[in-house]
Amino acid sequence: MGEIRAGTVLPATRTDITLHTADGLELVGELAVPEGRPPAATLVCLHPLPTHGGMMDSHVLRKAAYRLPALADLAVLRFNTRGTESERGRSQGEFGEGETERYDVAAALEYAEYHDLPHPWLLGWSFGTELALKWGRDPLVEGLILLSPPLHRATDADLDAWAADGRPVVALVPEHDDYLPPAQARERFKRIPQAEVVGVDGAKHLWVGEPYVRIVLNEIVRRIAPHAYPLPEHWPPA
């Protein structure tokens, strides 16, 4: 039995996928699912700002795909939004300032629906939280998990729409966030009565450091796969 470290890749069935948007683009991605058993729920990941290095391999999303299929029976769907490049390849199109990416979010959810991926939640990080809040109110989506939400592109009208919608919204906010620290986040998210804002002591916007990654993954699992909470820190688990 070994400790799960930053670079640990646990067993899963991993498949390169291509998403097709309604405006004619192909987006590269990957689907990771548990080996030999159906997933209990699904994370559809929306990455940080591509003009500042965000991509499907941004470390928290990559580690979710490396660990959660094995540890929590989750399917993890990651992809590069339009114009974004990673080791998996470059998605067609150009960065759309969070507007034309509405088609990217829709394409990912369409893929999840067509492939019978159960109980999809949107997991957005930074820029990805803006996409989730603006374009994620698809009937298929069960809720939102937002990492470091800056609330730059997402407006009060978007927040009010989620308030009226009623589905769960969980925001994980680093204590030392560069854009929206916990006190300000709690104030902004008051517009969504069902929103839960979780401040994470010591963390920064990019969640650098294995202790903070563990916190994020545990908070995700506690909401959408409670049977697997808390996550083990060794593999195979005792």
Domains of the chain by residue range? 2-225
Looking at residue 96, its pLDDT comes to 98
Looking at residue 179, its pLDDT comes to 96
Q: Report DSSP state, residue 50.
A: G
Rounded CA-CA distance 147/134 in Å is 15
- Please state, rounded to an integer, the average pLDDT across all residues of the chain: 97
Q: For strand 74-79 and strand 89-90, is the pairing parallel, antiparallel, or unpaired?
A: unpaired
To the question of pTM greater than 0.85 for the whole model, the response is: yes
Looking at residue 238, its pLDDT comes to 75
Q: What is the pLDDT of residues 159-174, one digit of tens each?
A: 999 999 999 999 999 9
Residue 81: left if φ>0, alpha if ψ -120 to 50, beta else—which one? beta
Element (H, E) at 135: helix 127-135
Q: What is the pLDDT of residues 16-25, one digit of tens each?
A: 999 999 999 9
Other C-beta atoms closer than 10 Å to the C-beta of 153 total 16
Q: In the CATH scheme, what architecture does the domain 2-225 have?
A: 3-Layer(aba) Sandwich (3.40)
Looking at residue 1, its pLDDT comes to 67
Name the 3-class secondary structure at 142.
Answer: coil
User: Across the chain, which distance is largest between two alpha carbons, in Å?
Assistant: 50
Looking at residue 237, its pLDDT comes to 85
Looking at residue 186, its pLDDT comes to 98
Decide: 57 and 84 in contact? Cβ < 8 Å: no
Closest CA to 148 of 191, 200, 107: 200
List the chain residues with pLDDT less than 70: 1
Interior angle at CA 32, CA 111 and CA 205, nearest 5: 95
- Please report the sign of the dihedral spanned by the C-alpha atoms of residue 68, residue 221, residue 212, residue 193: positive
